[in-house]
């Protein structure tokens, strides 16, 4: 599971992250940023795997990806 953060004001709306996201969860927003571009944003963050392909493809270093670990169930050892 991953967490994606965009520096929206630096995004030029090139769409490379949209094109290369394997889960297709990144879209270009309908609003404009201060540079006059439609910035990228995550449409469904729950499906993000944290692969960071979007961050690798971004020419403006707008995207940060963090892996979020799911809590694992603790197993108790059984003494025989």
Q: What phi and psi, each to the nearest 5 degrees, are found at residue 56?
A: -65, -35
Domain encompassing residue 43: 2-67
The pLDDT value recorded for residue 78 is 67
In a domain, 41, yes or no: yes
Number of domains in the chain: 1
The pLDDT value recorded for residue 80 is 64
Residues 6+ apart with CB under 8 A from 11: 33, 35, 37, 39, 40, 60, 62
In a domain, 51, yes or no: yes
**Distance of alpha carbon 63 from alpha carbon 27, whole angstroms:** 13
In a domain, 45, yes or no: yes
At 17, which CATH number?
A: 3.30.70.20
In a domain, 74, yes or no: no
Q: Is 36 exposed, middle or buried (0-12, 13-18, 19+ CB in 10 A)?
A: exposed
pLDDT of the chain along its 80 residues, tens only? 889 999 999 999 999 999 999 999 999 999 999 999 999 999 999 999 999 999 999 999 999 999 877 666 666 666 66
In a domain, 76, yes or no: no
The pLDDT value recorded for residue 67 is 84
Question: What is the reported pTM?
Answer: 0.79
């Amino acid at each position: 599971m991953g967490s994606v953060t965009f520096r929206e004001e630096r995004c030029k709306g090139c769409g490379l992250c949209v094109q290369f996201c394997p889960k297709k969860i990144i879209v270009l927003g309908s609003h404009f940023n201060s540079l006059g571009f439609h910035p990228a944003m995550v449409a469904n963050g729950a499906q993000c795997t944290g692969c960071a392909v979007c961050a690798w493809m971004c020419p403006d270093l707008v995207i940060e990806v963090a892996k979020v670990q799911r809590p694992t169930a603790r197993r108790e050892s059984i003494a025989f």
